[in-house]
Every structure is written in C-alpha cells, then in structure tokens.
Amino acid sequence: MIILGLHKDPWHDSGAAMIREDADGIRIASLSEERANREKDSRRFPHLSLKACMDELGVSSTEEIDLVVLDYIVRPSWRDDWYRRPCETRHFLSGIDPKKIRIINHHLAHACNVFYSSGFEAAAILIVDGRGSEKETQSLFVAKEGRIEVIESTTVIGIGLLYAAVTQAIGFGLLQEGKTMGLAPYGAEVKKQIFHFPRRFSGVTTDYSSVCLEDSYEMGVRHAPIITFEDKARAAFEVQAEAEAALLHLARHAFERTSAERLCISGGVALNSVANYEVLRAGIFKDIFINPAASDTGIPLGAALYGYHAILQRPRSYDRISTYLGPSYSGERITRAIDAFRQSTFNQEASAGFSVVNHDALELAVEMLVQNKIVGCFHGRSEMGPRALGNRSILMSPLLAENKDILNRDVKHREAFRPFAPAVLEERTQEYFEIDRPSPYMLLVPPVREEKRNRIPAVTHVDGTGRLQTVARMSNPHFYSLIEKFQQKTGVPVLLNTSFNVANEPIVETPEDAIRCFLGTGIDALLIGDYLLVKETKRDPA
C-alpha cells in the first residue's frame, strides 16, 4: 500500500510525503520542495520532492500509488485551488485516477501530522496559523480512540496574522516571524509603547481584527513609528508578549473544553518556542508536544497520515515518528560529490581547496570544535521542518561569547541579534537548563541555569534563555557521539547547533549542496559520511 501526501503549489512550503506499507511494516519519506529546488519557501508543484520520496521508498511509477491526499486553501477542487496565481497541479494529477484523490482541510492535515507524530494515545490539538482552507485562523481538535475531530474553529484574525503583520511593520519579510521572536528580548527595557493591542480572547478566538487589515499581512491602525533598533525591538517585544498571552489563553480553553491530559500544538505559531515554553510552564497539561514541521512543511506528512489512518483505517503501529525523513545518500554518492569538487575550480577566492581526511573523521571534527573551529555536519537523512537537528547542522563550541559574531559574520550573514541554539546530551539537560523533560526539536526555550550562563555564553540569549535541543543517543547516535566526545574533552555536554545554510537559502539537502556551502563560506571543516574535509586556507580573522 502506497500513500502520497502533498502540499502543492501555489502555496508556500510545498512538498511531498509518502508512506509505504509492506509485510514488515511501514516506511515514511518526506521532503519540502525548497530543499530539492533550492528556492526558499518554494511555491512550485512538488515534483522534485515527490520523486525523492518515490526513490527513497522504491516506488518506480506514480501508477503504483494507491491513494493521494492533499489539502486545499481556497477551493476543495484541486484544479481551481488558487487565488492570485494559477497552480501547476493539473498536469500531474490528471494522470491519476480521480477515485484515488482525496482533498482534506488544511488544519486537519496539521492536526494529523502533530498528533500521529506525538506518540500520545489521546490529546487536545490546537492549530494556530495564518489561514486554513476555510479561512480558519485557529482550531481546536480532540483525538481519542484513533479518531481526530474538530470541535471548534474561528475565521477571526488571530495571533498568527497579528504576528506576521508586526513582523512586516518591523521591516522583516513574510515568513520571517522567527526574527521577531529573536529580537523581542531586546525590547524588554525600552520605555516607548508602539502598539495598543485589544486583548479580546474568547473561546478559540483571539481577536485582532480591529488592528490588522483583512486579507493582508499588514497592520490596519496607526502606531508609533518604528525606525530605530530600539523601536523594532520594542515592537517585537510587544507582539511576543501578546503571542504568549494568546497561546496561554488557547491552552486553558483547550483544557476546559476537552479535559484532555495532553496537548498537541501545530501550525506556524507553534514554532514560537518561547510561547510554547510558557504553556508548558503553566502546567495546564501533563505534557505537551509540538512537531518539528509545525509550519506548512508538515502538511504533506499530515495528509499522508490522514490517508493511512483515517481513510484506510490502519491502526497505529509505531510510537513517535522520526523527524529524519529526507532521502538517504549512499557512501558512493558522497565520494562522487567530493571527487567532483576536488577536480573543480569552485570559488577559489573563498578557499584554496580542501584536504580529505578519511580515518577518525569524527574524532578530528571534535578536536577542531575544541580548537574553536566551525564544523559543518552532513549525516544521514535530513530533518523535517525549518530547524536543523544534527543531520544538516553547522556546529561550534558554545564556550566563547564571540562565536555568535564569528558565525554571523563568516557563515550565516544574518542579523547580530539572532540567537544560536544549544544541543545538550539529554541526560545532562537539567544541569544546564530549567526544564524537567526532553526538548528534542528546539521548540521550547527554557532559562539557562544562572550558574551556567557564563559557561555557554554563545548559546545563551540576551534574556538568559536557550532555544533548546536535547539529544538522546537512541534518536541520533551520530550527533550524540559528537557532543559526548566534546564533553569528554571540555567537560561541557553542549554544542552550538545552527542550520546548515546561509541567510535566505534553504538548508542544504544533498552532499553537493553541503560541499558548495562549505566552500562558499567561512566553515573550517565538513564532516560528511566517513570523511572530514578540511579547508586549506585559514579563516581570515579580520
């Protein structure tokens, strides 16, 4: 049985996911189109990601697919599902028997993705994003006994659209809400008030329709000018406080309506890891789960899971779903990529080339991290969603505060205020962070323990917090081993982990992408397959 899930053009974050059920169980693959076509937040029909999923699961023709499930945004007819620009979908789906195609609600796809990935038996599910299929902004679902049902939903402009509008007012682009979240703590001490938000919370509605323009991502009211860094930081601080209040209200409401012991949160707003931590800290639920592909990057998998469990009525045969669902790359493919770049004259100005170490590569990579070098890490299948979790990561020592600036200047080319995340050995978490449970996807931001802040300054944000990734040996033995060896040499079980890309580019996907990024930036070494590639020129300290 083969099920294809799609989130298609012309909506952002298009992609494909596939579930293949054989006699020995199920296998899953998922990829966002941006990773394959190298166009950030791509809106193209997911041709390349679909092909990648088929290759990964050994499917040679689309005729083998038993069921296609996709979400809709404007109209439940997939051929007409567009608003400003037409979709390219017609061509692909016209070759598929229409009886095999099912169209589902966008928020339902988010809900399936987060719940089936959670491992929970039952839960309340909050979906909070920009807009869904029927213009929903916020929805509450309940999942029990294998069924997921919507119990409440609103189309009133909510916290997702407000956050996007303020992000635009600050001067960042669409889908750059993460920058606003990183900037927010810098506005805590600024005296000037920028906005006056009406705090009208009722049920699943957090109503910002009086301050936002309809069908737009812009503020609809006058506000104090946003010109200086302090102004921008203050604006970010105010909307972040609003996001935390709104999400807390929604979580309390979800508990009142469902009496569930556990909560799942998804939709773009669930990437607000600071607000998520506030929900956890409030103790309303015994446990909460946020999936790493909480943005629309998780829709393809959600759609495929709906097909598998709700349409085909297959029971759940797994606990949690791994986040490492991208295509695999063989050792031979990696060797070929290295050879191709060794023979090229690629970007000679950035690097005079690289040497290849093919024994004890991991040990040497750790040694370089201890020497405060920047090490790219390409390993196994890529992670879903917008955060790199060890398989497509750039790593550095967390021990020196200036590493933040070094990375921003030499590699990431991004704003200096944006924080870098700590990855910690799971069993050492509580020594360093004020949290009592794992945070495997960087979706919770607890305080760094006060006595440890000077020990790991490169991953401690200005307000004393860290966007935490806890790493368990079982879930990623390779990444665990890197941190463990770093700990053996330094005493600190933490590495700085940032995504393997430069600003405004998708995270690297293939070995070729990784080597190209390594050569074009100030990364000192690249751990890839069984090799460590080491730049022959030193990083310019200027």
- Per CB under 5 A, residues contacting Fe ion are 129, 296
Compare residues 238 and 296 and give the one whose CB is closer to Fe ion: 296
CB of 247 to Fe ion, least distance (A): 16
Compare residues 12 and 452 and give the one whose CB is closer to Fe ion: 12
CB of 321 to Fe ion, least distance (A): 19
Strands 205-207 and 287-290: unpaired
Alpha-carbon distance of 423 to 441, in angstroms, equals 10
Tokens of 240: 């972040």
Compare residues 273 and 497 and give the one whose CB is closer to Fe ion: 273
Type and span of the H or E element at 83: none
Orientation of helix 273-282 relative to helix 229-258, angle to 10°: 40
CB of 160 to Fe ion, least distance (A): 8
The side-by-side arrangement of strands in the sheet containing 123-128 is 147-154, 138-144, 123-128, 262-266, 287-290
In the bound state, the residue with its beta carbon closest to Fe ion is: 129
CB of 267 to Fe ion, least distance (A): 5
Compare residues 137 and 475 and give the one whose CB is closer to Fe ion: 137
CB of 441 to Fe ion, least distance (A): 17
The single residue listed with the structure tokens 């809400």 is 177
Compare residues 141 and 195 and give the one whose CB is closer to Fe ion: 141
Sequence-distant (≥ 6) Cβ neighbours of residue 180 within 8 angstroms: 163, 166, 167, 170, 172, 236, 239, 240
Compare residues 41 and 129 and give the one whose CB is closer to Fe ion: 129
Within 10 angstroms of residue 90's Cβ, the number of other Cβ atoms is 12
Compare residues 6 and 471 and give the one whose CB is closer to Fe ion: 6
Compare residues 155 and 351 and give the one whose CB is closer to Fe ion: 155
Sequence-distant (≥ 6) Cβ neighbours of residue 410 within 8 angstroms: 374, 521, 522, 539
**With 0-12 CB in 10 A as exposed, 13-18 as middle and 19+ as buried, what is 92?**
middle
CB of 129 to Fe ion, least distance (A): 4
Compare residues 68 and 303 and give the one whose CB is closer to Fe ion: 303
CA neighbor of 151 nearest in space, from 126, 132, 129, 134? 126
CB of 327 to Fe ion, least distance (A): 24
CB of 164 to Fe ion, least distance (A): 12
CB of 48 to Fe ion, least distance (A): 22
Alpha-carbon distance of 301 to 323, in angstroms, equals 11
DSSP line for 190-207: ----------EEETTEEE
Instruction: Tell me phi and psi for residue 383, to 5 degrees.
Output: -85, 150
Compare residues 294 and 366 and give the one whose CB is closer to Fe ion: 294
Give CA 188 to chain center in angstroms. Answer: 26
CB of 6 to Fe ion, least distance (A): 14
CA neighbor of 178 nearest in space, from 320, 92, 274? 274
Residue pair 384/298 in contact by the 8 Å Cβ criterion: yes
Instruction: Tell me phi and psi for residue 498, to 5 degrees.
Output: -130, 160
